[in-house]
Amino acid sequence: MEKLRRVLSGQDDEEQGLTAQVLDASSLSFNTRLKWFAICFVCGILFSILGTGLLWLPGGIKLFAVFYTFGNLAALASTCFLMGPVKQLKKMFETTRLLATIIMLLCFIFTLCAALWWHKKGLAVLFCILQFLSMTWYSLSYIPYARDAVIKCCSSVLS
């Protein structure tokens, strides 16, 4: 009944098109949000690639961990331009993404701690790998049934 009331009063977000939902998300124009999304996402990718290149320099593990983590944070933050920061945070902490979000954020923190304060190179690399895996798992949560498909593929390969 509540859904019917929302539809009749024009408050139903599910019936809006994607463009209308995005335009309602912030005061920035759609083109501006799209440009900043692309800039932020590309910067994130470049930071991650630069960090990977710095890994091979002497003492480059610290730079690798910092650039790789900031690259992932920038890529994650880029979606705030599309849906708005509040909506992004709400979606991140929904029950379907809660565990993936917490693990991903902990991996960001532990990567920086391992490289900058604990000075454990192997641990920093391990947390970067876990960062990649947790970001992948988090991203798959936005695609319907993608996690189920990955689980089925992995279980069939392992059996």
Dihedral angle of Cα 41, 112, 143, 86, to the nearest 10 degrees: -70
* Confidence check: pLDDT of 16 > 80: no
Domain presence at residue 147: no
User: What tens digit of pLDDT does each residue of 24-61 get?
Assistant: 545 778 888 899 999 999 999 999 999 988 888 888 88
Find out whether 65 and 51 touch, Cβ atoms under 8 Å. Answer: yes
User: Which of residues 2 and 67 earns the better pLDDT score?
Assistant: 67
| 136 located within any domain | yes
Give me the number of domains the chain comprises: 1
CA angle 78–81–86, rounded 5-degree value: 105
The mean of the pLDDT values for the chain is 85
pLDDT at 9 over 50: yes
11 within some domain: no
Does pLDDT of 1 surpass 60?
no
Asked if residue 6 belongs to a domain, the reply is: no
One-letter amino acid at 108 equals F
Q: What is the pLDDT of residue 72?
A: 94
> What torsion do the CA atoms of 49, 110, 123, 114 make, to the nearest 10 degrees?
90
Contacts of 150 (CB under 8 A, 6+ apart): 140
Domain that holds residue 74: 57-141
The residue assigned the tokens 């920061």 is 85
Is the pLDDT confidence value at 4 over 50?
Answer: no
pLDDT tens for 125-155 read: 999 999 999 999 999 988 889 999 999 999 9
pLDDT higher than threshold 80 for residue 12: no
The average pLDDT across 72-83 equals 90
Q: How far is CA 112 from the centre of its chain?
A: 17
Neighbours of 109 (CB within 10 A): 11
Residue length, the chain? Answer: 159
Supply the pLDDT for residue 49.
Answer: 92
16: left (phi over 0), alpha (psi -120 to 50) or beta: beta
Burial class (CB in 10 A: 0-12, 13-18, 19+), 105: middle
pTM summary value:
0.75
pLDDT at 84: 85
